[in-house]
Amino acid sequence: MEPLYRDEVSAAFEPVAGQLAQVEEMLMEAGRAPSPFLGEVAGHLTSAGGKRIRPAVTLLASRLGNSGDPKVIMAAAAIEITHMATLYHDDVIDEGDLRRGVPSANAKWGNTVAILAGDFLFARSSGLAAEVGGQVPRILADAIASVVEGQLLQLEADFDVSRDLDHYLRTISGKTAALFEAAARIGALLGGLDATAESAVASFGRSFGMAFQVADDLLDLTASEEELGKPPGSDLREGVYNLPVIWAIESRPGLTGLLGSTDVDVDEVRKIILETGAFDRARELASSHAQDALGHLMTVEQGEPREALENLTRLVVERIPDPRTAGGAAKRA
């Protein structure tokens, strides 16, 4: 959720803006290291910004309850640092050159340094989670294990044109939804919600995460480099065949002839995805997960925090541009 909808997202964060500023300070702090070089590398992504959507979910979820534990700032920071650690390693794996509009750590300092900086951030996030205590370290550790599972599933399917819906859903459930679920659950716990509400909020996080990733995969096909902070069509070139591709192949098996290598005509594939209706179907799936997310929130107390989470959920789907009518790469092509 990079530059697109930045203002609308900020508006949704309004109820926790002050706390998010504290999280930001903690992120800066966590990047500090005895060696200035490590500090520079580990702080690189923090300085590049990012929407901080995961910590915002944690903070908003904690506001749903009454017992505001001040440690929620630390917990929210731990979630975002975990996310950043995975980004460092992701970029090594994908050989990504750009991240959040700036050169990725691997492109700037090499793979080795990026691996170690990711490890350092993992250590920092577990350190923070340990300070929060209670169930938080375990929830976070389990989420990281799921993220890795999801990333490995994705790798298994690299350049595999026979990847199916089930495989895709298992992948994003691990690599993305698990951390959003953890973010929401940890917020609920620290907000003092009862077990039923905690479970509903965790389910909200999971559905939100699913919607978020399906939307993200659509954005890779339609948004501009400026909007994405990296070149569009990256997934296609890296052999990651996401939902719209999977569904487009179902309707038009000949599409596989255009895939299977790094040398891919992104515009042509995008055209077929649109023609077959796979783009719209995928957007509907994102919508449906967003609806599930909103449904889970129905059981918790109404008020500003819940409204903010609802707005955020709607934005996830609204930010998917219509490639037929609006900006983005399709129009430019």
- Measured from the CB atom, the residue of 2 and 94 that comes closer to a copy of itself is 94
169 near a copy of itself, judged by CB under 8 A: no
Q: Are 188 and 201 in contact (CB under 8 A)?
A: yes
29 near a copy of itself, judged by CB under 8 A: no
151 near a copy of itself, judged by CB under 8 A: yes
- Measured from the CB atom, the residue of 145 and 165 that comes closer to a copy of itself is 145
Q: Using CA atoms, how far apart are residues 33 and 121, in angstroms rounded to an integer?
A: 10
List binders of a copy of itself among 35-74 (CB under 8 A).
35, 37-38
107 near a copy of itself, judged by CB under 8 A: no
Name the segment binding a copy of itself (CB under 8 A); options: 65-73, 148-156, 223-231, 279-287: 148-156
Which residue in the set 5, 6, 10, 33 belongs to the binding site for a copy of itself (CB under 8 A)? 33
Q: Which residues contact 265 (CB under 8 A, 6 or more apart)?
A: 258
List binders of a copy of itself among 204-243 (CB under 8 A).
none
298 near a copy of itself, judged by CB under 8 A: no
Which residue in the set 12, 16, 92, 315 belongs to the binding site for a copy of itself (CB under 8 A)? 92
What is the phi/psi pair of residue 98, to 5°?
-130, 145
Name the segment binding a copy of itself (CB under 8 A); options: 21-29, 112-120, 230-238, 279-287: 112-120
- Nearest-CA neighbor of 23 among 64, 101, 95, 83? 83
Q: Using CA atoms, how far apart are residues 327 and 261, in angstroms rounded to an integer?
A: 28
- Nearest-CA neighbor of 209 among 323, 6, 57? 57
- Measured from the CB atom, the residue of 156 and 194 that comes closer to a copy of itself is 156
**CB-count burial class (<10 Å; 0-12, 13-18, 19+) for 25:** exposed
28 near a copy of itself, judged by CB under 8 A: no
Q: Are 313 and 8 in contact (CB under 8 A)?
A: no
Q: Using CA atoms, how far apart are residues 230 and 211, in angstroms rounded to an integer?
A: 21
Q: In the chain, count of helices (H) and strands (E)?
A: 18, 2
- Measured from the CB atom, the residue of 25 and 158 that comes closer to a copy of itself is 158
**Which residues make up the interface to a copy of itself (CB under 8 A)?**
33-35, 37-38, 86, 89, 92-93, 111-113, 115-120, 122-124, 126-127, 129-131, 133, 137-138, 140-142, 144-145, 147-149, 151-153, 155-156
